[in-house]
Amino acid sequence: MAEISVVVPVYNVQGYLDNCARHLVKQTFTDFEVLLIDDGSTDNSGNICDEWAKRDSRIKVIHQKNGGLPNARNTGISNATGRYIAFVDSDDWVEKDFLSVLYSGITENNADIAQCNYSRVFDSGREDFVQYKDAIWDRQHIEKVIMPQLANYIPVNMSNSRCNKMYKTALVKEAIKYCDEKVVMGEDFLMNIAAVALSDKVVILDSPGLYKYRYNTASISTGYDKARKYKEKQFYKNIADTAAHFGYKSDRIYRSENWRYGYYIFECALSDMDRQDKKREIKDIMALMDKKVWRSNIKTYKTFAERLCMRLVSWHLTGFMLILVDIRKKFGFEL
């Protein structure tokens, strides 16, 4: 029985899977198993999984019919034998000390969850380091401060993802009881709400960027999903429902919801839709918003480009904003 189980859901990632597996088997912490969950891949990913299992006895492969990402992860969770569990997406990779740093953090602090820093790696090779400050949350701090913030989707000193974290396996197996496998948007955050609510201690490690998240800018510019704004509304309902299971109210979540709608305006502007389609889509997004709340949030958007985009739309200058975005894209633009 391994000390750590690493769950890697796999679906049609033949171009990335070798890199992911290569970095996992080079970990400085060696007492682990890797569970490659082939979720009905139609490319060569399943065969690549099997080849890696032949090369390293710590790698185990489960082939299943396609059930989606939450289902694949849950298959990994149910088959995990380690005392601790971590998650890696198959198009990402981790540095050699990823497991070692998280394991030291979670065991030395007798914590239920440990988190490290990560980096976004862009198609161009640019790497953005995402940093979280050292912190230890005890039960009282979780109850009084962290959970009320999570219940309202207010940023805390923790990423939404499960992929830069290590958990006690028993905790995750309990947490997923509160998560619906059919949820395909925000499932990581919903699981983290349950996991933190069930935890007595969480440790945040101000480490190097040990998890490398492949940030595919092409998927943003060409893959804008018009239905996502409606999925977003369901996501906030799911947050409120999950938090309510543990006795926390989501009475301020509307501010976060309207902030996200604003960000969809920016994503729409960057998409490859024609200008008239963009205008119609932005109009549809704004119909879902509380405009007064959204306008009061504009100053909180991260970049100048985002804030300018929002201001122009709020001043009814959507067409002018789209012209500026097109000029910016022509000369090269990354989020």
Q: Which of 169, 194, 217 is the last residue of a domain?
A: 217
Are 305 and 159 within one domain?
no
Evaluate whether 8 touches 73 at the Cβ level (below 8 Å): no
pLDDT at 271: 87
Are 61 and 179 within one domain?
yes
Whether residue 305 is contained in a domain is answered as: yes
SS3 214: strand
Are 36 and 92 within one domain?
yes
Task: Give the H/E segment covering residue 143.
Answer: none
Rounded to whole angstroms, how far apart are CA atoms 54 and 15?
19
Positions of the chain with pLDDT lower than 70, given as ranges:
217-223, 329-335
Whether residue 199 is contained in a domain is answered as: yes
pLDDT at 220: 44
Whether residue 278 is contained in a domain is answered as: yes
* Residue 50 CB contacts under 8 Å (≥ 6 apart), including other chains: 61
pLDDT at 297: 85
pLDDT at 326: 82
Whether residue 237 is contained in a domain is answered as: no
Are 170 and 31 within one domain?
yes
Are 65 and 203 within one domain?
yes
pLDDT at 217: 58
Are 170 and 306 within one domain?
no
Q: Which of 160, 195, 217 is the last residue of a domain?
A: 217
Q: Which of 160, 190, 217 is the last residue of a domain?
A: 217
SS3 83: coil
Rounded to whole angstroms, how far apart are CA atoms 235 and 249?
15
Are 73 and 125 within one domain?
yes
pLDDT at 221: 43
For 259-279, what is each residue's pLDDT tens digit? 889 888 988 988 888 899 999
Whether residue 241 is contained in a domain is answered as: no
Whether residue 245 is contained in a domain is answered as: no
For 193-204, what is each residue's pLDDT tens digit? 999 999 999 999
- Identify the domain containing residue 8 by its residue range: 4-217
CATH classification at residue 67? 3.90.550.10
Are 20 and 97 within one domain?
yes
Are 158 and 42 within one domain?
yes
Are 213 and 318 within one domain?
no
Whether residue 151 is contained in a domain is answered as: yes
Record the pTM: 0.87
What sections of the chain are H helices per DSSP?
17-25, 45-55, 69-79, 98-108, 139-141, 147-151, 169-175, 187-197, 217-222, 228-245, 253-270, 275-287, 291-297, 304-314, 318-330
Are 191 and 322 within one domain?
no
Are 93 and 11 within one domain?
yes
pLDDT at 304: 86
Total count of domains within the chain: 2
Whether residue 44 is contained in a domain is answered as: yes
